[in-house]
Chain A
Amino acid sequence: MNFAVLQFPASNCDQDAVHAVRLLGHSARLVWHKDASLGDTDCVIVPGGFSYGDYLRCGAIARFSPVMQAVKQFADNGGLVLGICNGFQVLTEAGLLPGALIRNRDLQFHCENIFLKTATIDSPFTNKIPAGKILRVPIAHGEGCYFADEATLAKLKANNQILWQYCDQDGNLTDSANPNGALQNIAGICNDQRNVAGLMPHPERACETLLGSDDGKWIFESIFAALKNKPVAQAA
């Protein structure tokens, strides 16, 4: 599989995403934000970091990069797009995912491991996650509190679009397990077509036991499996 990892000015988890994909046996390359085309791509990763310094609002400026036009088209054609952390913020700003990510409720940046419950395995991003497995994955963000208005939230639930939620060690969705105040402990969602997803935690930082956890690999393995089963859209 070919992964395209976007590179905005001050993306800083771009190399990490490339590293994780390669480590898991697939190919990945960086695509510059000024490029209007994604080239030959099976899946797009919008990586973490501080695109444009996160000035104004996280992800707000990156959304206007030429490459985002290509991503939009790729997604419209059914291509798989995963936004991680800042990438999630970019995708919500771009309207590819509903809702918004606002300042953590305690106003502090949080870098720590959290536990993640997979709310549904019915998505290209979760299909390989073992049933009942609680993932231990790092977060690192200051603005990861997921917000959506009530109507949007109801729709997310009705369509089974919530993919991951913060939980405790035993899988309970408690308030103290929620690092940022996200509504319903939401850590990641997908669009209603189920081909675009975003999450605040960093699965690419959890693909090697040397780094403390390899639980993140299940998310990538899910994508690989989905791509294998249904070859999708052409890149724009």
Chain B
Amino acid sequence: MESHKLQINVTVNGQARSSQAGQSLDVLLRELQLDSRMVVVEHNGVIVRRPDLVETRLDEGDNVELVHFVGGG
């Protein structure tokens, strides 16, 4: 059952966050209300292309970086 899923600790953009083991990056983005077309995801130092976000799952201690384009010169 969903409710029994293991809680894990991950780091997202430098902030500690608890998540469920096996949660996909796609779901993480949705939880964060981020549009995957606007964001690039790096998972444990490896870029995850958009089609692979659904397949890529979080594990204990994972590090996720979510980046986008901001104003700069």
User: Do A and B actually bind?
Assistant: no
Interface residues of A (CB under 8 A from B): none
Interface residues of B (CB under 8 A from A): none
